[in-house]
Amino acid sequence: MIKYWLGTALTILVGLSACKMTDPAPEDKKSRKFADLPAYFKSENSQLISGNYILNKSVTLNNEADKVSSVADSTTVHDLLKPFQDIDLNKPSLKEEYDTSSIYDSFSGKTTVIYQSKGKQTSPSEITMELDKTGNIQQINIHSYTSNLVYEYRQDLQYIRQKQVRMATYQKIAFLQPKVLEAVVSIAPKNGN
């Protein structure tokens, strides 16, 4: 009798695990409240690497500037898009932390989508996306802000699809001079088109 129940329990467990192993993608997509930014930037990463682009970087740290150009290889592009790709508002811990609003431009067919923190010092504090008339993301602006008695930090990230990345950071620790960093990376086709 024990073998019978053990066999039945094993059959049920195998059946349940098989059910869980089926493709959860449709349910997962329904549970997403916000745009899947990690997936978007993973796709952009692949397109920039395979698109044969040149990256022209201009970096300014506390008024000292430096410029450099490089080929868009996998490491360079990964590092460039990592601050964007790390942002995932669909994490369970952020489920109720943001309000969503959108503005539709009936002349151009473009839509602006805004995710705004509900007032806590949630990072990022605001994300603004510009979508073309087919719903594809063309530009993303991300603003983060943290402040307390000893520390202030602001960061603005901007991605213009396959054209430019801009990062501006302000960091101030009590009794120390602030650090201001701005990096602008222009993305251009290697052949100059």
User: What distances in angstroms separate CA 128 from CA 35, 116, 144, 191, one per listed residue?
Assistant: 11, 8, 12, 32
pLDDT in tens, 44-98: 999 998 888 999 999 999 989 999 998 888 899 999 999 999 999 988 888 788 9
In this structure, is residue 1 part of a structural domain? no
- For the stretch 6-46, pLDDT in tens is 343 334 433 433 443 333 444 455 556 789 999 999 999 99
Domain hosting 41: range is 25-94+141-189
Number of structural domains, the chain?
1
- Provide DSSP, 12-35: HHHHHHHHHTS--HHHHHHH--S-
SS3 168: strand
Against a cut of 0.85, is the pTM above it? no
Tell whether 58 is covered by a domain.
yes
Helices (H) and strands (E) in the chain, counts: 4, 9
Q: Examine residue 13 and state whether it is found in any structural domain, yes or no.
A: no
Tell me, yes or no, whether 4 lies in a domain: no
Q: What's the token pair of residue 64?
A: 């000292």
Q: Residue 29 falls within a domain, yes or no?
A: yes
Yes or no: say if 3 and 57 are a contact pair by the CB < 8 Å rule. no
